[in-house]
């Protein structure tokens, strides 16, 4: 959610029950403004909170002019002092996929994972058990990246693509209408499109290239991995991801308010197909 | 848009009347002010009609129109250049011919050249005859109302305009060129026609081009641009150039989706209004009648409604909170529930998120002696089930007689049904009411049976939000979503309701030892509780205890041996005596007793404690400490089994 409308967004996203205490909110307001100034970001998003056993991580992201460019991620334990996280690489994701369970809450904590590695000494090739140390920071980075790629949501029309390439916030975005807001096809993944080129020509003909340049949520697998609800008597539409439980996207139809926040343990819900 | 003049009457039958109106618009010097010029246009329209009638017929003229309309940019360019080139050349040869008479023929050569000549001629004409026009102007004004009469006069002169060659593009614009002053019996038309300068003519042509609409779309580009620019000027957005495309799209969209009349209801917002009405009922109820105020004062001391706002405040400090207005609505809804049902104590248990809707759960205790009528309903299907089994056995016996081969009877007997616990004890200690939204009616959940708890431990399903939805899973869950919800509530309550050590104590009235090792199942508040410092509460798990009974693997809190024959079982189960011998002896299941500290929990590493970070949190835990409400996601996150 945008740091500029933080209080309102927190209020609207609180239907899931996870909010922020008043002291955290106050510290966020100040520290996010300072972040924007220091790092010269165009927009600062408060991404959410990953619950750990000993402490929670508060995550913020900074965006540049081009909304789809890779974002800078920062974390903090007390909402005041922020540390920049390295960008995620595929190796990191692979490496941390073996770590299961809750986050500890201590960024320097190291998970130990034993795995069999083929070592060759001279002519012999044998397998040896190697204990690999995985830092929690790495795990944090890869989890945030996975969540962003999988379930970050933006409504259709909130961003538009200029002919020169960069993607801008659409300042004339008035919000989705009520009928559009209830359909999953009006929401896009907030990431580089993956499925777009697989569409048939007929489908592509209906698309508007300045607005429909991202994947829509409609074709997510498994089907039904999004729960869409109207709250507050139809004045607020809330999307909750069932694949990463804890991600809440809210949008007030016919207004500009929208945003998403993740408050959860950082664990993917692998049982999703069985639970539907 | 603003330029569309109302069609004056004297042009009724012209199929191209619309076109002629465009022509008349072209003529108007100013683009936006119509009334002063309309008097000028009317007579011109008369001319138009005749011009159109004449010649090759209307179709041809229409064709010309089309050509003209597509041509003007080029021709106008040519006009202007040529005009400028010939500015000084008054075309001396042609000048006297102008004075002689406005013969249309010389001007009906190729269109472009004609146009050039026209424009070059018009200018000197204007200059030369300015004074003449002024004199005639006054004459015109006097005779203005009679223009209709003049219209009739000119019909006879149509013959003049029967031209073999196609009309040039600007012919129709310049009646002054077509009529010599001497031929006309009435000058004012000419006088009043201020010869359009070539630039203005070009503008008028361009405007007419922009005003054209196509068959598929009734919006002309001109109107669209007017809308767009009006919108931009009204709204004055920053950096409008970058917004241009979006504004363009929005304006087009708005044209085709006009705002509904204020008298009509917006169908999209219907559900919103309905919900708002329903919730209004919540708020009004609290201030119901002035008469009841005194009664309400007396009841305040006894009211069972919990102070939801206060607990919500504390939870908010901890970071677990619904928004404050939602908490207030829940408070109102609980109040409504208390008024409707005979409730002794009530507590907001929590919110369970579902796929389509969510559940708000209230934990209540009925007053002493209040019978719950649902028990009888629940028993009936059980009896019906037993009847069916007996019937099936009879049919099996009949088959045996008919067929020579004895079908082996299955040896498998379903495991004995463990009876559910009594109300007000064990897992059924409290009653639970659910509703989907504050304002909707509260529904009571049935008591939970041990088999439901056992099965619920094995499956993981999302809640849909509808209580009667089936739960399709493997192993199959006996019941619908209401029972599943109740089972999950029971499991959550049993596992996670904790309080600081010493807050609750056992009542002294109960004996120290009870039969069968069944733990004490009741507790009371400790009046001498002084609070434990926060740091100690955070550091050690031993300072927290469970105050709900642990559910045994059997599914109950107190153990029951299902093999003990009750009277009912003896009637039906005489054949089962043989089977009993095969079963192993059931061992009594024992669980940790009430008020066990958390440090004894299996897998206790999974609970996390966090201290409030600010100094505003009081040093000692405050006395009104109620068990934390569990806001659980459908995949209930629990600390232990």
The listed range with the strongest mean pLDDT (B259-273, B405-419, B600-614) is B405-419
Chain B residue closest in CA terms to A157: B246
In a domain, A267, yes or no: yes
pLDDT category, B32, cuts 50, 70, 90?
Answer: very low
CB B193 within 8 A of CB B137: no
CB A127 within 8 A of CB A118: yes
In a domain, A112, yes or no: no
Task: Work out the minimum CA distance from B321 to partner chain A, whole angstroms.
Answer: 5
- pLDDT at residue number B193: 60
Task: Give CA–CA dist A12/A221, Å, rounded.
Answer: 27
Give the one of A12, A162, A234 whose C-beta lies nearest to B272's C-beta. A234
Distance of CA A226 to the CA centre of its chain: 14
Mean pLDDT of B536-564: 79
Write down the mean pLDDT value for chain B: 64
Q: Is the pLDDT of residue B57 over 50?
A: no
Q: Choosing among A6, A10, A21, A264, which should be mutated to test the B contact, i.e. which has the most B CBs within 10 A?
A: A21
Mean pLDDT of A223-246: 86
Q: Is the pLDDT of residue B636 over 70?
A: no
- pLDDT at residue number B548: 83
Least confident of A91-105, A199-213, B613-627: B613-627
| Residue B593 CA: distances (Å) to CA of B228, B421, B518, B521, B550 | 75, 17, 8, 8, 7
DSSP letter for B507, please. -
Give the one of A21, A55, A246 whose C-beta lies nearest to B316's C-beta. A21
- Could you tell me which of B254, B219, B217 has the C-alpha nearest to residue B234? B254
- Could you tell me which of B448, B570, B593, B454 has the C-alpha nearest to residue B516? B593
The whole domain housing A172 covers 3-97+136-274
pLDDT-above-90 percentage for chain B:
5
Judge if the upstream peptide bond of residue A222 is cis by omega within 30 degrees of 0. yes
Within 10 angstroms of residue A222's Cβ, the number of other Cβ atoms is 10
Q: Any chain A CB within 8 A of the CB of B613?
A: yes
Q: Is the pLDDT of residue B58 over 60?
A: no
Whole-model pTM over 0.90 = no
pLDDT category, A60, cuts 50, 70, 90?
Answer: very high
Q: Is the pLDDT of residue B128 over 60?
A: no
- pLDDT at residue number B33: 46
Q: Is the pLDDT of residue B159 over 50?
A: no
Mean pLDDT of A226-231: 87
In a domain, A199, yes or no: yes
Q: Is the pLDDT of residue A146 over 80?
A: yes
pLDDT category, A58, cuts 50, 70, 90?
Answer: very high
Q: Is the pLDDT of residue B40 over 70?
A: no
| C-beta atoms of A19 and B316 within 8 A | yes
| C-beta atoms of A179 and B268 within 8 A | yes
- pLDDT at residue number B97: 43
Mean pLDDT of A204-216: 81
Task: Give CA–CA dist B325/A174, Å, rounded.
Answer: 25
pLDDT category, B2, cuts 50, 70, 90?
Answer: very low
- pLDDT at residue number B317: 87
SS3 call for B270: helix
Q: Is A175 left (phi over 0), alpha (psi -120 to 50) or beta?
A: left
pLDDT category, B483, cuts 50, 70, 90?
Answer: very high
Burial group, residue A168, by CB count within 10 angstroms (0-12, 13-18, 19+): middle
Least confident of A51-65, B352-366, B483-497, B513-527: B513-527
pLDDT category, B38, cuts 50, 70, 90?
Answer: very low
- pLDDT at residue number B166: 53
In a domain, A264, yes or no: yes
Chain B, window 272-301: residues with a beta carbon less than 8 angstroms from a chain A beta carbon: 272, 274-276, 278-279
Q: Any chain A CB within 8 A of the CB of B404?
A: no
More reliable by pLDDT, B94 or A276? A276
Give the one of A21, A234, A245 whose C-beta lies nearest to B271's C-beta. A234
Q: Is the pLDDT of residue B626 over 50?
A: no
Mean pLDDT of A79-105: 86
The listed range with the strongest mean pLDDT (A165-174, B104-113, B346-355, B631-640) is B346-355
Task: Give CA–CA dist A27/A82, Å, rounded.
Answer: 12
Give the one of B276, B319, B355 whose C-beta lies nearest to A20's C-beta. B319
- pLDDT at residue number B69: 44
Condensed to tens digits (0 to 9), the pLDDT of residues B216-267 reads: 777 788 888 888 888 888 888 887 787 787 788 778 777 777 776 667 766 6
The listed range with the strongest mean pLDDT (A189-198, B189-198, B608-617) is A189-198
| C-beta atoms of B320 and A17 within 8 A | yes
In a domain, A127, yes or no: no
In a domain, A34, yes or no: yes
- pLDDT at residue number B22: 47
- pLDDT at residue number B487: 93
Looking at beta carbons, which pairs linking A41-47 to residues 24 or more positions away fall under 8 Å? A41/A72, A43/A2, A43/A3, A43/A67, A43/A169, A44/A2, A44/A3, A45/A1, A45/A2, A45/A3, A45/A71, A45/A259, A46/A1, A46/A2, A46/A3, A46/A6, A46/A9, A46/A261, A47/A73, A47/A144, A47/A261, A47/A262
Judge if the upstream peptide bond of residue B475 is cis by omega within 30 degrees of 0. yes
pLDDT category, B583, cuts 50, 70, 90?
Answer: very low
Runs of H (alpha helix) within B301-428: 308-318, 324-340, 374-402
Q: Is the pLDDT of residue B100 over 50?
A: no
Q: Is the pLDDT of residue A22 over 50?
A: yes
Q: Helix B72-85 to helix B111-128 angle, to the nearest 10 degrees?
A: 50
Task: Work out the minimum CA distance from B2 to partner chain A, whole angstroms.
Answer: 26
pLDDT category, B178, cuts 50, 70, 90?
Answer: low
In a domain, A108, yes or no: no
Burial group, residue A121, by CB count within 10 angstroms (0-12, 13-18, 19+): exposed
SS3 call for B633: coil
Q: Is the pLDDT of residue B311 over 80?
A: yes
Mean pLDDT of A8-26: 85
In a domain, A27, yes or no: yes
Chain B, window 218-257: residues with a beta carbon less than 8 angstroms from a chain A beta carbon: 237-238, 242-243, 245-247, 250
- pLDDT at residue number A74: 92
Strand partners, B366: B343
- pLDDT at residue number B614: 36
Condensed to tens digits (0 to 9), the pLDDT of residues A98-131 reads: 888 888 888 888 888 777 777 777 777 777 777 8
Biggest CA–CA distance in chain A, Å, is: 72
Condensed to tens digits (0 to 9), the pLDDT of residues B509-524 reads: 544 444 333 345 677 7
pLDDT category, A93, cuts 50, 70, 90?
Answer: confident
Structure ipTM: 0.87
Number of domains in chain A: 1
Q: Is the pLDDT of residue B394 over 80?
A: no
Give contacts of B353 with chain A, Cβ < 8 Å.
16-17, 227, 240
Give contacts of A269 with chain B, Cβ < 8 Å.
635
């Amino acid at each position: 959610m945008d740091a500029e409308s933080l209080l309102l967004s927190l209020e609207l996203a609180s239907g899931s029950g996870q909010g922020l205490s008043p002291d955290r909110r106050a510290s966020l307001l100040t520290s996010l403004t300072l972040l924007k100034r220091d790092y010269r970001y165009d927009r600062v998003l408060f991404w959410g909170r990953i619950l750990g056993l000993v402490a929670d991580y508060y995550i913020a992201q900074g965006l540049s002019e081009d909304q789809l460019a890779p974002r800078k991620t920062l974390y903090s334990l007390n909402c005041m002092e922020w540390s920049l996280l390295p960008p995620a690489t595929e190796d990191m994701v692979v490496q941390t996929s073996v770590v299961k369970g809750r986050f500890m809450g201590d960024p320097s904590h190291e998970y130990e994972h034993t795995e069999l590695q083929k070592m060759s000494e001279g002519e012999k090739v044998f397998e040896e058990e190697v204990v690999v140390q995985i830092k929690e920071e790495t795990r944090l980075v890869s989890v945030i990246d996975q969540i962003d790629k999988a379930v970050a949501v933006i409504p259709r029309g909130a961003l538009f693509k200029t002919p020169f390439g960069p993607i801008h916030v659409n300042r004339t975005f008035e919000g989705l209408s009520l009928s559009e807001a209830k359909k999953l096809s009006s929401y896009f993944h907030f990431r580089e499109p993956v499925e777009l080129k697989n569409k048939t020509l007929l489908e592509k003909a209906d698309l508007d290239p300045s607005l429909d340049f991202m994947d829509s949520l409609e074709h997510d697998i498994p089907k039904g991995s999004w729960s869409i609800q109207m709250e507050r008597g139809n004045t607020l539409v809330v999307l909750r991801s069932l694949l990463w439980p804890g991600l809440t996207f809210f949008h007030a139809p016919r207004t500009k308010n929208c945003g998403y926040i993740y408050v959860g343990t950082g664990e993917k819900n692998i049982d999703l197909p069985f639970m539907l | 848009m603003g330029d569309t003049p109302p069609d004056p009457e004297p042009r009724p039958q012209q199929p191209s009347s619309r076109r002629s109106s465009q022509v008349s618009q072209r003529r108007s010097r100013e683009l936006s002010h119509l009334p002063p010029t309309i008097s000028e246009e009317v007579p011109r329209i008369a001319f138009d009609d005749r011009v159109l009638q004449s010649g090759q017929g209307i179709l041809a003229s229409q064709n010309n129109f089309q050509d003209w309309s597509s041509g003007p940019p080029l021709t106008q360019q040519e006009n202007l250049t040529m005009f400028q080139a010939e500015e000084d050349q008054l075309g001396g040869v042609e000048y006297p011919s102008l004075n002689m008479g406005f013969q249309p023929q010389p001007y009906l050569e190729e269109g472009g050249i004609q146009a050039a000549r026209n424009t070059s001629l018009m200018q000197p004409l204007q200059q030369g005859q300015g004074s003449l026009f002024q004199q005639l102007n006054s004459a015109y004004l006097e005779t203005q109302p009679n223009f209709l009469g003049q219209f009739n006069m000119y019909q006879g002169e149509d013959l003049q305009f029967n031209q073999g060659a196609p009309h040039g593009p600007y012919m129709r614009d310049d009646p002054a060129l077509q009529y010599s002053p001497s031929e006309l019996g009435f000058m004012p038309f000419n006088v009043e026609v201020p010869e359009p300068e070539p630039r203005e003519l070009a503008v008028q042509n361009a405007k007419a081009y922009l005003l054209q609409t196509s068959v598929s779309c009734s919006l002309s580009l001109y109107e669209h641009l007017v809308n767009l620019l009006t919108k931009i000027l009204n709204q004055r957005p920053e950096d409008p150039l970058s917004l241009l495309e979006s504004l363009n799209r929005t304006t087009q969209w708005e044209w085709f989706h006009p705002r509904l009349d204020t008298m009509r209801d917006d169908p999209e917002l219907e559900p919103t209004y309905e919900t708002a009405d329903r919730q209004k009922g919540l708020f009004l109820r609290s201030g119901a009648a002035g008469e009841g105020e005194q009664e309400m004062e007396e009841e305040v001391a006894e009211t069972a409604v919990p102070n939801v706002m206060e607990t919500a405040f504390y939870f908010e400090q901890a970071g677990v909170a619904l928004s404050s207005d939602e908490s207030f609505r829940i408070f109102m809804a609980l109040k409504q529930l208390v008024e409707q049902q005979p409730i002794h104590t009530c507590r907001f248990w929590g919110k369970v998120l579902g796929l389509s809707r969510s559940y708000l759960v209230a934990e209540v205790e009925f007053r002493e002696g209040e019978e719950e009528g649902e028990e009888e309903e629940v028993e009936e299907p059980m009896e019906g089930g037993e009847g069916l089994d007996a019937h099936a056995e009879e049919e099996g016996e009949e088959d045996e007689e008919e067929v020579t081969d004895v079908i082996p009877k299955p040896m498998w007997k379903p495991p004995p049904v463990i009876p559910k616990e009594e109300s007000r004890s064990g897992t059924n200690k409290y009653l639970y009411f659910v509703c989907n939204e504050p304002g909707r009616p509260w529904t009571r959940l049935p008591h939970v049976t041990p088999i439901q708890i056992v099965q619920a431990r094995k499956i993981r399903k999302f809640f849909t939000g509808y209580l009667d939805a089936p739960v399709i899973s493997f192993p199959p869950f006996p019941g619908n979503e209401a029972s599943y919800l109740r089972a999950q509530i029971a499991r959550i309550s049993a596992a996670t309701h904790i309080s600081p050590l010493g807050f609750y104590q056992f009542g002294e009235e109960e004996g120290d030892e009870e039969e069968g090792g069944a733990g004490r199942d009741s507790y009371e508040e400790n009046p001498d509780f002084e609070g434990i410092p926060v740091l100690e509460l955070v550091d050690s798990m031993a300072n927290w205890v469970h105050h709900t009974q642990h559910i045994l693997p059997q599914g109950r809190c107190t153990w029951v041996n299902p093999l003990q024959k009750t009277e009912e079982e003896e009637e039906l189960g005489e054949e089962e005596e043989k089977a009993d011998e095969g079963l192993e002896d059931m061992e009594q299941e024992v669980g940790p007793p009430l008020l066990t500290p958390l440090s004894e929990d299996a897998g206790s590493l999974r609970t996390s404690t966090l201290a409030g970070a600010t100094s505003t949190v009081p040093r000692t835990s405050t006395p009104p400490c109620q068990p934390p409400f569990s806001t659980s996601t459908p995949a209930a996150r629990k600390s232990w089994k």
